[in-house]
Amino acid sequence: MVYEKDELIFATEHLNIVPITLQDQIELLKILQDPNLMQLGWGKTFSLTETRQWLEKIQQQYHQFGYSYFFIIEKTTEEIVGLVGGLKTEIQGRPEVELAYIIKPFAQGHGYAHEAASGMLEFLHLKGVPSVIAQFVPDNKASKKVAEALGLTYAGRYSRNLNGQLREHLIYRKELLPF
């Protein structure tokens, strides 16, 4: 993936975090149509039209909040290894910022989720976000492991409507402010 250095949101030891642009539809589609990634958390893959909607929402969130999903680029290979972001959401009537991460199957097990999400916590802190949550289905052991390693702690569970079906989700939380 080619990106300009001034587009860099932040960098970690092994990763560059960059914005997703409207021209990145095919790259985003590769992630959103991967059943190994999307079935566990979302219960479905996403169509071309739905991917376009994701792109438009991401752009709106960049302008409104200064954050959303970003691509995770491995520095050495310059390959997209996943997504990381802070997402405004509401859980049980309470506004939240969700720390979210999706790592492509070939890149799992290399610490990229932890490294990217750790950098995202710092980025969100600098943006003035007071706390974050992570939410995931109980079967997603990898997300639970990453959340706990980042210092998020269990805060509850709830049933989330995904594609017309209620699925139980765990909620983990971390306070970011004050310093």
**89, two tokens:** 């959401």
Cβ within 8 Å of residue 15, ≥6 positions away = 72, 73, 74, 75, 81, 112, 115, 116, 119
Give the span between the Cα atoms of 152 and 172, in whole angstroms: 5
Give the span between the Cα atoms of 158 and 146, in whole angstroms: 20
Q: Give me the pLDDT at residue 117, please.
A: 98
Q: Give me the pLDDT at residue 163, please.
A: 80
Give the span between the Cα atoms of 125 and 21, in whole angstroms: 24
Q: Give me the pLDDT at residue 40, please.
A: 83
Q: Give me the pLDDT at residue 7, please.
A: 86
Q: Give me the pLDDT at residue 43, please.
A: 85
Tens of each residue's pLDDT in the chain, 179 residues: 555 555 899 999 999 999 999 899 999 999 999 998 898 888 899 999 999 999 999 999 999 999 999 999 999 999 999 999 999 999 989 999 999 999 999 999 999 999 999 999 999 999 999 999 999 999 999 999 999 999 999 999 999 888 888 889 999 999 997 75
Q: Give me the pLDDT at residue 2, please.
A: 53
Q: Give me the pLDDT at residue 1, please.
A: 52
